[in-house]
Chains A and B, each alone.
Chain A
Amino acid sequence: MADQTIQPPRESFNLSMLLYDQRYRGLTIQVVVLILVLSGFFWLANNAATNLAAIGKPIRFDFMDDTAGYDISQHLIEYNSTDSHGRATLVGLMNTLLVAFMGCVTATIIGVVGGVLRLSNNWLVSRLMTLYVEIFRNVPVLLWILVCMFTFTALAPQPREFRGENPEATMKMWDSVAVTNRGIYLPEPLFSRPLGDIDIGVFKISIELLVLLGLLAGGILFARWNAARANKIQAETGERPTTIWMAVAAIVIPPIVVLIALGFHVGKPELTGFNFQGGINMSAPLIALWLGLSLYTGTYIVEAVRSGIESVNKGQAEAASALGIRPGRTMKLVVLPQALRVILPQLTSQYLNLTKNSSLAIAIGYMDLVATLGGITLNQTGREMETILMTMGIYLTISLLISFSMTRFENRVKLVER
């Protein structure tokens, strides 16, 4: 039998096919778009280069090594005004990360507690949570930050009110915490026999902290190993040895021993001159920004948690209560783990929003990244192009890192399901 396969006629390629042939048209469009975008970019960059050259400010980054010359009251690493702009930027970046971290933790706590309370069958409590959410999320966050700032500085006593025989204001918590309108002064941990610091170039890390963290990690590892051993014994003999006391001992005792050996004591802030000295200082702008961001973002997390809990099939909670599990444990063991899959993506975007909104610090004088690099450094050096582009680049990096790590976490939660 003759092979009847018909070979399609071989088409020769001609130029009109670039426009009219479905197979090649996409390619044409992409090349055209790419050329347009690239030429647009080139046009913008060329304009910028010409304009900057004309006023004698070609793009250079050596100003970052110059002396900054301004003070930053809230700093996590050592800093004074003779340090460079680069170090000021680092201090600002760490301040941004500090307030973003504190805000994320507090907003999450507010959100989870509020989300559960909002679904509570207590009429008054659930209405109050609704009221909180609706009031806080429908007013700009900048307004909340300003209100927090003014309220805190107006209501907290001035440092001089702590003075005298019969002071108008007293320190809280057994004379260890001072709440003043310039900030809150917390006691700091001190060691009479310190181990010293490791200098890693940019900043120092105290060895005591490393040792304590190491001991804690070791204790937790031991507790987990002990729990695994108990599981094994239970599987073999049917009786589970008590693990709780060994776990507590492993986690608590070594750090306490080390603390005593190092001569741990608490350094209390003391009123000297016009202000408190010593202790850990949380400045008023930091507290206002922290409060404002947490309360505002908290409302969105409340809604995320609520929608997550409502997305879990009601039968799950009913089945749990049919098995005799108490409501609190039902929430913790059955509902929340399943709700987490709905909550996490929204939580990610709220963390990102909070981090970006922390840039509003500049409105109340908290020295974050925008206020240092994009604020005073910009004004002192006159390098708009470099400082603003660097600020944007750093924020972009932070955002990408947060969304990257949250996506990994989401994937881990997903895998648990099926």
Chain B
Amino acid sequence: MAREIAFVRSEMLGEKPPPASIVGVQGWIKDNLFSSVSNSILTVVALYLVFVILSGILPWIFLGIWNAESLAECREIFAERYGDGTEYACWAVVKARWHQIVFGYYSPDQYWRPILGFILIAVSIAPILFPKLPKKLFFVSFASLFLYPWLIWGGSFWTPITAALGAVIGFFAYRYVTERFGFLFGVLAGCAAALIWWSFISGFAASALQSAIPATIAQVSSLNLAGFVLSITIGIVAIVASLPIAIVLALGRQSDMWIVNKLCTGFIETIRGVPLITLLFVATVLLNYFLPRGVEFDVILRVNILVTLFTAAYIAEVIRGGLAALPKGQYEAADALGLTYWQAQRQIILPQALKISIPGIVSNFISVFKDTTLVSIVALNDPLGIANNIRANSDWNGIVWELYGFIALIFWVVCFSMSRYSMYLERKLQTGHR
């Protein structure tokens, strides 16, 4: 006897959509903002804070005035529009003076020089930051080492050319001597050849070429070097000049030689133990005492020397971290191949160590760039120094947040993009190697 089955569904039902409280906007809000009582309280408090801050700042920013001649005129307009007492941003000051904050005291027809300089820097850094670009771009990096100072300070075009020639001569001397007597002597010979060229022949050659084919752009005194041009110049010079010093210091600190090790450690720890502002005082007040009588440097050069030493100590620690992070097998393999110390460092250790140090070096560059604001304390006109000058002007006396906000925005854009890049690089290097 077959059992009677009243009804059996012969086909599957379609899936029901999940309840509205789980998916979609409502579900997301429930999951992420109101998942528990404490979470809900946090959300409400945070929303309230956001509301308070934005309702204070947004009208101030967006009801601001862009067209006015002075702060007094801004205030008149506000009084006219909103009655007495309410004031919003007077962006007119930024409109009137932004070019000083960015370019300093160059005359407007010379603005192409810092702009070209910034483009040169961008192109020269590109092959380091993006390894896929053709390696030939390194020639631009080499050229801009000499062209950038020429663009910034001006003078005869032949000065950077002959200076670059000195570097080329030094390089060939290094190659020639290295093949015969080894790396250490090669470096010494290369440095010596370049120094001889620069101190005895270069100036002579430059003036001879200048009298044959004149090519000059107007000289800019260091006093007129100001604004973000000054910050970027100090930052770039510090990073470029400090890298070789930092590599030597890091190798010295990793070295087995007791005296070398202690000397490098002492230097690094002393520099890292004092605030940058005291080093800037050394640059502006003391450095001339330490040089023979009659030898005087330009104040920006002096500041640059000390900022370079400061940066070198910090980058040396980054590179030391990179050296220490390399697996020991790399050192042992180099030894097993019978490479000398310098051969091993140059061909096996340093390329890898420097590669993994790049994120650290980038974040150091960010802090150096931010630290360049300190030069305003020793009376150089970095963006903050210029802001002080503008505030001292009777037209804009009383302006505060508009100027600092503008400067902060530029710093923020530069530093934020660099830090994002460094984070991207860190992730990339983490998965790739080791």
Contacts and interface: CB of A to CB of B under 8 A. Distances in A.
A370 interface: yes
A306 B415 CA distance: 21
Nearest to A135: B412
Given A30-B258, A139-B415, A400-B273, A121 B278 contact: no
Interface string B265-293: 00001101111111001100110111111
Contacts of A140: 370-371, 373, 411
A231 interface: no
A261 interface: no
B389 interface: no
A391 B278 contact: yes
> Which of A37, A147, A392 has the most B CB atoms < 10 Å from its CB?
A392
B370 A123 contact: no
Contacts of B404: 143, 146-147, 150
Contacts of A147: 401, 404, 408
Interface stretch (A50-58, A215-223, A263-271): A50-58
Nearest to B387: A146
A94 B46 CA distance: 38
Contact of A370 (B49, B277, B366): B277
A142 B274 contact: no
A135 B366 CA distance: 14
> Which of A124, A125, A363, A399 has the most B CB atoms < 10 Å from its CB?
A124
Nearest to B410: A139
Interface in A314-353: 352
B259 interface: yes
Given A29-B257, A154-B400, A384-B286, A356 B377 contact: no
B247 to A, nearest CB: 16
Contacts of A134: 416
A26 interface: yes
B373 A142 contact: yes
B33 A395 contact: no
Contacts of B39: 120-122
A150 B398 CA distance: 10
Given A48-B289, A140-B371, A362-B277, A124 B384 contact: no
Contact of A362 (B258, B286, B291, B377): B377
Contacts of A156: none
B116 interface: no
Given A138-B415, A385-B289, A37 B263 contact: yes
Contacts of B285: 378, 384, 388
Nearest to A129: B46
B263 A388 contact: no
A48 B256 CA distance: 34
Contacts of B260: 29-30, 33
A137 to B, nearest CB: 8
Contact of A399 (B273, B289, B374): B273
Interface in B138-165: none
Interface in B18-48: 32-33, 35, 39, 42-43, 46-47
Nearest to B47: A124
A374 interface: yes
A142 B374 contact: yes
A44 B292 CA distance: 8
Contacts of A154: 400
Contacts of A48: 289-290
Contacts of B282: 388, 392
Nearest to B413: A138
Contacts of B47: 124
B90 interface: no
B419 interface: yes
B390 interface: no
A253 interface: no
B407 interface: yes
A249 interface: no
Contact of B259 (A30, A128, A352): A30
B168 interface: no
A293 interface: no
B394 to A, nearest CB: 19
A137 B269 CA distance: 24
A121 B35 contact: yes
A143 B293 contact: no
Contacts of A125: 42-43, 46
Contact of B32 (A26, A123, A139): A123
6 contacts: A122-B43, A138-B419, A140-B411, A356-B274, A359-B278, A385-B286
Interface of B: 32-33, 35, 39, 42-43, 46-47, 49-50, 256-260, 263, 269-270, 272-278, 281-282, 285-286, 288-293, 366, 370-371, 373-374, 376-377, 384, 400-401, 404, 407-408, 411-412, 415-416, 419
Given A31-B259, A388-B281, 15 more contacts: A26-B257, A48-B290, A51-B288, A51-B289, A124-B32, A128-B49, A139-B370, A139-B411, A143-B408, A143-B411, A150-B401, A151-B401, A356-B276, A384-B285, A396-B274
Question: Can you list the 9 inter-chain pairs with the closest CB atoms, starting with the nearest?
Answer: A123-B32, A399-B273, A138-B415, A359-B275, A356-B275, A140-B370, A396-B273, A30-B259, A140-B373
